[in-house]
């Protein structure tokens, strides 16, 4: 008798017409990254897209805390070795009112145009659902195109992103002679406990949240390729002066997109009003965005706060936010609804 978990499914499957479904290996890393970087591009984006290429390389590097190269599936043409279709499973822990549950995020779903309408995504979804179930994941989620994933048992059920826009001309100017009461600096690994505490504080405003380990935060901070679409700048907001007490966390993009600088997280520690901190943060973001735009030979136009549909910032400076982008939605699949309801029963009873 052994306490070791059962070996995971090999998932090798002959799909006919010379196509084989299998799990990826370390040796497939470059070609899988190149495949997705050429297929998943936006209509206005030249291929291959570096943001996708380096994101997939990072996932398959063997250094990611929760993802392994074999968490990508691929359908391969036996005669040529050409990849026809591929997708990945990013296993995570989410929580419902503080009750953790396992979730599998399906992402990077790509099919070569020459191999579409052959049921290749369906075959992979069946295989990845089986793998997710073996891992004890009660829920699967995917951020995907409208309607398509309903055929696989998914429904749009949770808000995804949502943003507010602050135009450059709406950023407050400092009063002559006034010094900034707060400064913004790049975070280091020594700041990880502070980062984790402020993220935990941010998640208390949501019924459903994703748990993030110190290893995952560390990978985000120092382990991602600079050209990855998920590479962010982590910043700590500090009180100016000799003690330099950290009071806030800011995460933003490392480039502008169409002259806009994206902010993915802004959280202020308890006892520090948003109203006193935000003006200086806006000025920091303006300066940083202008530097990025100059490097990219474009004009800096705005800050886009991707903080969801509701956030304390929106209530703090409503007059400085000129635009709202409504949230999209996560597709959610709960294959065994009674089991999930039983799992979160303590929260429902409360």
pLDDT in tens, 188-218: 999 999 999 999 999 999 999 999 999 999 9
What pLDDT is attached to residue 19?
97
End-to-end C-alpha distance for the chain, whole angstroms: 40
* 3-state DSSP assignment of residue 39: helix
Cβ(233)–Cβ(251) below 8 Å? yes
Give the chain's radius of gyration (CA, Å): 22
Contacts of 82 (CB under 8 A, 6+ apart): 76, 112
Backbone angles phi, psi at 302, to 5 degrees: -165, 165
Residue 174 has pLDDT above 90, yes or no: no
**Residue in 201, 241, 185, 193 with CA at minimum distance from that of residue 217:** 193
Mean pLDDT of the chain: 94
Residue tagged 């600088």 (tokens): 261
User: Percent of the chain beyond pLDDT 70?
Assistant: 98
Residue 250 has pLDDT above 80, yes or no: yes
What pLDDT is attached to residue 1?
41
- Please state whether 240 falls in left (phi above 0), alpha (psi between -120 and 50) or beta: beta
DSSP code string of 207-264 = SEEE---HHHHHIIIIIS-TTSTT-EEEEEEEESSSS--EEEEEEEEEEEETTEEEEE
Longest dimension (CA), the chain: 75
Total Cβ atoms within 10 A of residue 67: 20
How does pLDDT run across 39-88, given as a tens digit for each residue?
999 988 999 999 999 999 999 999 999 999 999 999 999 999 999 999 99
Section 301-321 average pLDDT: 96
What's the pTM value of the predicted model, to 2 decimals? 0.92
CB neighbour burial string for 86-111, b if at least 16 within 10 angstroms, e if fewer: bbbbbbbebbbeeeebebbbbbbbbb
Section 82-106 average pLDDT: 98
What pLDDT is attached to residue 193?
97
Residue 68 CA to residue 293 CA, distance in Å, equals 35
Residue 258 has pLDDT above 50, yes or no: yes
Cβ(92)–Cβ(105) below 8 Å? yes
Q: Residue 109 to residues 235, 254, 264: CA-CA distances in angstroms?
A: 32, 25, 24
Cβ(105)–Cβ(160) below 8 Å? no
Q: Residue 266 to residues 231, 300, 302, 308: CA-CA distances in angstroms?
A: 16, 20, 16, 11
Section 284-296 average pLDDT: 96
What pLDDT is attached to residue 2?
46
Residue 5 has pLDDT above 70, yes or no: no
Q: How confident is the model at residue 317 (pLDDT cuts 50, 70, 90)?
A: very high
Residue 213 CA to residue 304 CA, distance in Å, equals 27
User: Percent of the chain beyond pLDDT 90?
Assistant: 91
Residue tagged 């700590």 (tokens): 236
Section 208-233 average pLDDT: 96
Total Cβ atoms within 10 A of residue 59: 26
What pLDDT is attached to residue 11?
76
Residue tagged 């009750």 (tokens): 99
What pLDDT is attached to residue 254?
93
What pLDDT is attached to residue 242?
76
Residue 149 class from Cβ within 10 Å (0-12 exposed, 13-18 middle, 19+ buried)? buried
* 3-state DSSP assignment of residue 311: coil
Q: Residue 205 to residues 96, 133, 340: CA-CA distances in angstroms?
A: 12, 29, 22
Residue 180 CA to residue 59 CA, distance in Å, equals 39
Domains of the chain plus CATH, in order, are 13-160+330-349 (3.40.630.30), 163-326 (3.40.630.30)
Of residues 341 and 2, the one with the higher pLDDT is 341
What pLDDT is attached to residue 6?
58
């Amino acid at each position: 008798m052994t306490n070791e978990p059962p070996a995971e499914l090999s998932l090798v499957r002959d799909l006919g017409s010379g196509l084989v479904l299998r799990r990826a290996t370390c040796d497939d890393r470059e070609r899988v990254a190149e495949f997705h970087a050429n297929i998943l591009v936006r209509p206005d984006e030249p291929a291959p897209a570096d943001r996708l290429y380096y994101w997939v390389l990072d996932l398959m590097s063997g250094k990611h805390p929760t993802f392994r190269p074999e968490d990508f599936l691929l359908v391969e043409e036996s005669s040529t070795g050409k990849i026809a279709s591929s997708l990945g499973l990013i296993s995570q822990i989410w929580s419902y009112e503080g009750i953790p549950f396992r979730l599998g995020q399906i992402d990077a779903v790509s099919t070569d145009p020459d191999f579409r309408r052959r049921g290749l995504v369906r075959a992979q979804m069946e295989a990845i659902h089986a793998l997710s179930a073996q891992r004890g994941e009660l829920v699967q989620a995917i951020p995907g195109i409208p309607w398509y994933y309903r055929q696989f048992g998914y429904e749009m059920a949770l808000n995804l992103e949502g943003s507010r826009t602050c135009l450059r001309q709406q950023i407050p100017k400092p009063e002559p002679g006034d010094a900034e009461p707060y400064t913004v600096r790049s975070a280091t690994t020594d700041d990880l406990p502070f980062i984790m505490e402020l993220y935990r504080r941010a998640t208390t405003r949501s019924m459903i949240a994703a748990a993030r380990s110190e290893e995952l935060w560390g990978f985000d901070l120092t382990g991602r390729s600079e050209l990855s679409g998920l590479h962010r700048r982590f910043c700590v907001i500090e009180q100016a002066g000799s003690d330099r007490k950290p009071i806030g966390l800011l995460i933003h993009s490392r480039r502008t997109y169409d002259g806009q600088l994206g902010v993915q997280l802004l959280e202020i520690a308890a006892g520090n009003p948003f109203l006193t901190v935000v003006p200086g943060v806006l000025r920091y973001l303006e300066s940083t965005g202008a530097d990025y735009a100059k490097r990219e030979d474009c004009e800096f136009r705005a800050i886009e706060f991707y903080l969801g549909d509701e956030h304390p910032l929106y209530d703090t400076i409503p007059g400085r936010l000129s635009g709202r982008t409504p949230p999209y939605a996560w597709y959610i699949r709960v294959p065994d609804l009674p089991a999930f309801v039983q799992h979160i029963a303590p929260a429902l009873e409360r």
